[in-house]
């Protein structure tokens, strides 16, 4: 197989199989519906087009065939630009839409290899942040949500659901989405929030369009399972449509599963399970998140 053929095969597999399947598993939703095909061209006059099968064809220049990492970074960004919930922009705003795409690309390239990550930074992220301070502030917050594991398991899912409510997009939705990002950020930045407000950040976000709550399970702090069940019941009674039961730590995972098991015995539905890694200053802890519905 030629060098171009090998790069084409690897990129298609990593995006069509690895990336798409991971997102579907972690969000519990088919966020990315199209597959990609890589096409090499001597001159690229148009980066992407749809073939008759509905695949997104990404055209890469012959000059990229010597660098697999650069080719991957470019193909991934072209793919995200065209396929990341394109109908979501009017609902969530261009800035949050852009921030989500960049956060996904940052996660994927960082995990893949140093060279892919370096090319993503040089070609895309760094130039954008140099000229857009607001995007830089947003990316700082989304980075923390990503590190704590709730960017994919909670935020992306809620944004996807928001766009599927069958209502027309309004400016108040975009304001609500920004408030929602701030809500999630405050939970992740609990120490500073407490120092500023003198109380812990709220764990429920009941607004006009987004209605959700988080039950954060910490066995050492709340060893009584019934208290977590009561928290789930209270969240639904308070108006939540989605309740996320989550936590991290090897000694906590089994306890969280017991909590969710007993929640299910109360008649609630365990809709989705997501496993993630939560990154803290001094450690990485395995986490788990369950979406609970009535």
Task: Residue 255: give its domain's CATH number.
Answer: 3.30.110.20
Domain span at residue 242 reads 203-294
Q: Is residue 275 part of a domain?
A: yes
Cβ neighbours for 283, distance < 8 A, ≥ 6 positions apart: none
Closest listed residue to residue 217, CA positions, set 252, 191, 250, 189: 252
Nearest-angstrom CA–CA distance, 13 and 15 = 6
Query: 22: which residues sit within 8 A by CB, 6+ positions away?
Result: none
CB 253 within 8 A of CB 208: no
Closest CA to 107 of 169, 44, 19, 182: 19
Q: Domain for residue 164, yes or no? A: no
- pLDDT computed for residue 217 by the predictor: 94
> Do the domain assignments include residue 247?
yes
Q: What is the pLDDT of residue 281?
A: 81
Vertex 182 angle, CA 178 and 187, to 5°: 150
Given this model, what pLDDT does residue 156 score?
93
Give, for all 294 residues of the chain, the pLDDT tens digit. Answer: 467 888 899 999 999 999 998 888 888 788 898 999 999 988 776 788 999 999 999 999 877 667 889 999 999 999 999 999 888 888 899 999 999 999 999 999 999 999 999 999 999 999 999 999 999 999 999 999 999 999 999 999 999 888 877 677 778 899 999 999 999 999 999 999 999 999 999 999 999 999 999 999 987 777 788 999 999 999 999 999 999 999 999 889 999 999 999 999 999 999 999 999 999 887 999 999 999 999
The reply to whether 120 falls in a domain is no
Residue 168 lies in a domain: no
Tokens of 7: 């790069």
Tally of domains in the chain: 1
Does residue 291 sit within a domain? yes
Asked whether residue 50 is assigned to any structural domain, the reply reads no
Would you say residue 44 lies in a domain?
Answer: no
């Amino acid at each position: 197989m030629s060098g171009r053929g090998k790069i084409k095969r690897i990129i298609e597999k990593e995006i069509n199989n690895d990336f798409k399947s991971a997102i579907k598993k972690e969000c519990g939703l088919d966020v990315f519906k199209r597959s990609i095909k890589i096409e090499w061209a001597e001159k690229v006059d148009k980066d992407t087009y749809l073939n008759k099968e509905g695949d997104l064809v990404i055209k890469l220049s012959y000059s990229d065939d010597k660098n697999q990492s650069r080719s991957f970074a470019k193909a991934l960004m072209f793919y995200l630009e065209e396929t990341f919930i394109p109908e979501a922009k009017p609902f969530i705003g261009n800035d949050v839409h852009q921030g989500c795409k960049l956060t996904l690309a940052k996660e994927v390239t960082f995990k893949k290899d140093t060279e892919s990550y370096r090319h993503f930074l040089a070609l895309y992220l760094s130039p954008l942040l140099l000229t857009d301070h607001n995007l830089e502030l947003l990316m700082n917050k989304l980075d923390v949500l990503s590190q704590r594991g709730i960017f994919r398991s909670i935020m992306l899912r809620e944004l996807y659901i928001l766009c599927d409510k069958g209502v027309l997009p309004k400016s108040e939705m975009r304001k609500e989405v920004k408030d929602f990002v701030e809500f999630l950020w405050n939970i992740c930045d609990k120490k500073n929030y407490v120092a500023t407000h003198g109380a812990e950040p709220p764990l429920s976000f009941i607004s006009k369009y987004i209605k959700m709550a988080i039950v954060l399970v910490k066995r050492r702090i709340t060893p009584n399972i019934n208290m977590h069940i009561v928290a789930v019941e209270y969240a639904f009674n308070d108006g939540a449509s989605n309740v996320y039961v989550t936590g991290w730590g090897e000694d906590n995972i089994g306890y969280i599963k017991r909590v969710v098991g007993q929640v299910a015995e109360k008649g609630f539905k365990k809709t989705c399970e997501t496993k993630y890694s939560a990154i803290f200053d001094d450690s990485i802890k395995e986490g788990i998140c369950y979406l609970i519905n009535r």
